[in-house]
Chains A and B, each alone.
Chain A
Amino acid sequence: DAKTTQPPSMDCAEGRAANLPCNHSTISGNEYVYWYRQIHSQGPQYIIHGLKNNETNEMASLIITEDRKSSTLILPHATLRDTAVYYCIVRLTSYGKLTFGQGTILTVHP
């Protein structure tokens, strides 16, 4: 699986959009981009995933660049409960292992 690079930490004001970047410059054409988050003392939680097209669900939006070398997870209206570690993961198949990196610690401030 391709390696990902994320900033170690980010801050966001409550109610504003949180934009979390991820670099995956060695991604291959059939690898998916997944996002998970882990709130303190809980197991990771699936957020969203995509292959080529932008995706949106009730939690977030995923924007993947045309060359697929980077992506951005967007939380449109961040709340204090969105404070967590966010992991960007590149995965070859839908049933394969998840390779977690260090992730981005997102802190949402009042």
Chain B
Amino acid sequence: DAGVTQSPTHLIKTRGQQVTLRCSPKSGHDTVSWYQQALGQGPQFIFQYYEEEERQRGNFPDRFSGHQFPNYSSELNVNALLLGDSALYLCASSLSWQGTGELFFGEGSRLTVL
């Protein structure tokens, strides 16, 4: 049973560019969340998708957007990249109806902005 898979694992962009990160949730999971983790910090919540709609959003600018597809996979898009967007981007999946609320995280996509 594959867990949460993310791609790409590493990427380098320059300021002003745009990036798309992809996430496939754990089999059977219908909810996907994205987190940003700067070096030495805990992960910060970006947003959550369920039934192809953004359900919750953290304190991130509109440059950060997302999408969820009918197969529950998800994309995170960041426009007009800034140096401060350099971070590990984590995707987490869960079952909407599961009472434990356990999130399964992927290994992350390491973004470096030069």
- A residues engaging B (CB < 8 A)? 32, 34, 36, 41-46, 49, 85, 87, 91, 93-103
**Which of these, A34, A42, A95, contacts B94 with CB under 8 Å?**
A95
A97 near B90: Cβ-Cβ < 8 Å: no
- Knowing A43-B108, A46-B102, A95-B31 are in contact, say whether A100-B42 is a contact too (CB < 8 A): yes
- Name the interface size band of chain B: 20 to 34
Q: How many A-B residue pairs have CB under 8 A?
A: 56
B107 near A98: Cβ-Cβ < 8 Å: no
| Dominant SS among interface residues on chain B | loop
Residues of B with C-beta under 8 A to A99: 45
Report the separation of the CA atoms of residues A44 and B88 in the bound assembly, to the nearest whole angstrom: 12
Report the separation of the CA atoms of residues A98 and B58 in the bound assembly, to the nearest whole angstrom: 10
B20 at the interface (CB under 8 A from A): no
B21 at the interface (CB under 8 A from A): no
Report the separation of the CA atoms of residues A101 and B31 in the bound assembly, to the nearest whole angstrom: 23
A103 near B94: Cβ-Cβ < 8 Å: no
